[in-house]
Structure 1
Amino acid sequence: MDVSLPLILSIETAAGCGSVALTRGGVSNGRLIAEAAVHAETSHSRQLLGSVEWVMQAVGISWSDLDAIAVSIGPGSFTGLRIGLAAAKGIVFAAGKPLVCVPTLDAVALSCPLVDGPLWCVMDARKQEVYAACYGPKGQISPAEAVRPELLAEKIAPPAVIAGPGLAEYQHIFSRIAGLRFIPPALSSPSAAKIGFLAADKLERGERSDPAAAAPLYVRASEAEVNLKKNQPDSAAGRQS
């Protein structure tokens, strides 16, 4: 193994199954060293630091050996993203290592490297919506959005491929599209290892995130933000009266 390649500790908590991984190298030359994944029946916060400790101890890696800390930045579970980013920032400040933020749907797309047409990556956004983005051979070609699956289906035309954990809930809707090809959720879900490989490539290009400014990519407003906006007109009206 080429020790000159970046050694990355990565965290993925955007989806239901959170994971932590140690990887060396990027997409084309990377190797998975250790990974721990646990379905979040309990909160990510109760599992995450224990998983970090386990992967580090399992292969005898110390903080000084790491080249960077990577984290899945979203879209995904609001709570999961906050927990993952907070943990990554804490490690970054404690260990003095760079932070690299990676969009979660990029990790879904990485699961499907040989797709030669439009690739739609979807994750369950709840509230009867999915997070979705379209990728081509040279990368993302449409921004991530939160959309009802029925409306997304109207945008998709063969020869397209659809992948990601969002299919577990909504495949019955997308299966109505004649000629659409599917990659099962079990084979196309985000993982910390994929986040690590993508982060190594970003690090090699000099792309780092400012830990103080890094924030989750929510795509849509949180409940708190929605409620705040609902209350603002009433407050303004009260001030005018």
Structure 2
Amino acid sequence: MNILGFDTSTKAASVALLKDDTLVGEILINDKRTHSQKLMPMLESLFKLADITANDIDLLAVCIGPGSFTGLRIAMASVKAMAHAKDLKIVAVDSLESLAFNIADVDKKIIPILDAQGSKVYTASYKSEGSELIKLEEIEVLDIDDLLEKIEKNGEKTILLGEGVYKYREKIENNSLVSIPSPDKNISKASSVCAIALEKYRKNIDIHTHYDILPMYIRKSQAETQYEEKQRKMKEATDK
């Protein structure tokens, strides 16, 4: 089975191809260019280097968020278009489980964090049981100080990973219970999305069509928040 995976949930954009249990290839670019500039050239390069076409793909996998609102829409649009054209199923993988999978073989609690603007982070917690990644807490939005205080109260050795660690590195490094992995583990990867998708497909979990798959936003976008605030002020002015 050929699984094609996409992840544009963060600043890094990546595409990967998994054939059965073998990672055939992955292209990852982590720079300031927009995902719309990077994604299609990366996909074309992957197909060319792996000597395959879209007709060889059996299953699609996509990171549905939480993360960059614009980035999520770009990957989602690409996956939906391919699924519609080739009549393929899509496996949904969230960004936090994908990050946790990067270090799924450790004996510490695993807490991925992604920037949710302000002092907030998207987060969840996991642990490893053999080769299986177990979710301990569901995805939520927390203030970084509240999260670090929570770790202190639990008193458990913890790994924090993801793009959020760079924004709050100084605070994190002051916590003796917390460690940060190497840079390659802090990047969202389509290869992890593919690996998780394979297991989900075997268990018949989180499988969608291009009609029903949706991004996971958790919170409203800045544009939506600004629009609602504008509408509120307009209503207040009218009421006066």
Shift of 1:213: 2.4
1:200 CA displacement: 1.1
Partners of 1:117 and 1:136 within 8 A in 2 = yes
Choose 61-70 or 75-84, whichever is displaced more.
61-70
Counterpart position of 1:225: 224
Q: Equivalent residue for 2:77?
A: 86
1:75 counterpart SS class = coil
Q: Unmatched 5+ residue regions in structure 2?
A: none
CA contact (8 A) 1:8 1:70 kept: yes
Provide the C-alpha distance between the structure 2 equivalents of 1:236 and 1:206, rounded to a whole number of angstroms. Answer: 48
Identical aligned residues as a percent? 27
Q: Tell me, yes or no, if the aligned pair for 2:12 and 2:187 is still in contact at 8 Å.
A: no
AA in 1 matched with 2:228 = K
Which residue is 1:122 aligned to?
A: 113
Alignment partner, residue 155 of structure 1: 150
Partner of 1:103: 94
1:143 is matched with 138
Q: Is the 8 A contact 1:167 1:185 kept in 2?
A: no
The whole-number CA distance in structure 2 between the counterparts of 1:85 and 1:165 is: 21
Size of the aligned set, in residue pairs, is: 232
Q: Single out whichever of 56-65 and 72-81 deviates more from structure 2.
A: 56-65
Which of these residues, 61, 72, 75, is aligned with residue 70 of structure 1?
61
Compute the TM-score of the two structures, normalised by the length of structure 2.
Answer: 0.87
Provide the rounded CA distance (Å) in 2 between the counterparts of 1:177 and 1:106: 23
Runs (4+) off by over 4 Å: 231-241
Q: Do 2:88 and 2:209's aligned partners in 1 also have CA atoms closer than 8 Å?
A: no
For residue 174 of structure 1, report the CA deviation from its aligned partner. Answer: 1.5
Which whole-Å deviations, capped at 9, do the CAs of 1:43-97 have from their partners, x for residues lacking one? 1112211211111121211223211111111111111111111111111111221
Could you tell me the TM-score, scaled by structure 1's length? 0.87
Does the 8 A contact of 1:71 with 1:100 survive in 2? Answer: yes
Name the residue aligned to 1:46. Answer: 37
How far is the alpha carbon of 1:140 from its aligned partner?
A: 1.5
Q: Match for residue 172 of structure 1?
A: 170
1:232 to partner: Cα distance: 5.0
What do residues 5-62 of structure 1 show as CA deviations (whole Å, max 9, x unaligned)?
A: x31111110111101111123xxxx221011122242211122112111111212112
Gaps of at least 5 residues in structure 1 are 1-5
Q: Which moved more, 1:108-117 or 1:15-24?
A: 108-117
Kindly indicate whether the alpha-carbon contact (under 8 Å) linking 1:24 and 1:197 is maintained by their aligned counterparts in 2: no
Matched, 1:133 2:124: yes
Change (3 A) 1:235 1:169: closer
Match for residue 8 of structure 2?
Answer: 13
- SS of the aligned residue for 1:218 comes to coil
**Counterpart AA for 1:205:** K
Specify the code of the residue in structure 2 equivalent to 1:51: M
